[in-house]
C-alpha cells in the first residue's frame, strides 16, 4: 500500500449512463480494451454497479408498470467493471484475486444499497 494509499483503478460516475462510462462493459470479449493495469501484488480499489438493483443500467424503474421489464433492452444489461490487465501475466495463467473489503459508496449513504465497491489484491 505504501504512503500513497490504495489506488482507485475504476471509478463510477453516477451522473452518466452506464454505457457512457469507459470502465464498464456488459460482456467478456477480446476486443474490449483494458480499463487499467494492476501490478502483481498491488492492492487496488475497483468501483462497480450493484447488479441486484442496477444490472439493467437504470432501465427498470420503481413504479407500478411492468412495461419497463417487458421492454428492457437486453444489450444494455449486466454491467461489469474492467477488464484489467495484470502486469506480468500471460494468457492461460492462473491468477489469485483476494477481495479485501466490500463497502457502499460513502457519498451515497442514503442510497447505499444501489452500489458497492471493494478493494482487490492481484497476485499472479
What pLDDT sits at residue 108?
61
From first to last of its 124 residues, the chain has per-residue pLDDT tens of 456 689 999 998 888 888 888 888 888 888 999 999 999 999 999 998 775 556 677 788 778 889 988 998 888 888 889 999 999 999 899 999 999 998 887 766 544 344 444 444 555 4
Separation CA 28–CA 99 (nearest Å): 20
| pLDDT reported for residue 2 | 53
Torsion of CA 24, 28, 29, 31, to 10 degrees: 20
Q: pLDDT value at position 36? A: 93
Amino acid at each position: 500500500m505504501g504512503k500513497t494509499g490504495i489506488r482507485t483503478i475504476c471509478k463510477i460516475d453516477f451522473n452518466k449512463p452506464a454505457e457512457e462510462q469507459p470502465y464498464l462493459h456488459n460482456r467478456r470479449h477480446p476486443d474490449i480494451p483494458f480499463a487499467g493495469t494492476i501490478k502483481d501484488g498491488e492492492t487496488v480499489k475497483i468501483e462497480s454497479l450493484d447488479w441486484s438493483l442496477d444490472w439493467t443500467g437504470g432501465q427498470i424503474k420503481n413504479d407500478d408498470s411492468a412495461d419497463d421489464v417487458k421492454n428492457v433492452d437486453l444489450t444494455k444489461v449486466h454491467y461489469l467493471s474492467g477488464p484489467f490487465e495484470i502486469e506480468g501475466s500471460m494468457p492461460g495463467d492462473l491468477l489469485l484475486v483476494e477481495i479485501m473489503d466490500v463497502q457502499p459508496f460513502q457519498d451515497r449513504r442514503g442510497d447505499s444499497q444501489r452500489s458497492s465497491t471493494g478493494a482487490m489484491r492481484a497476485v499472479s
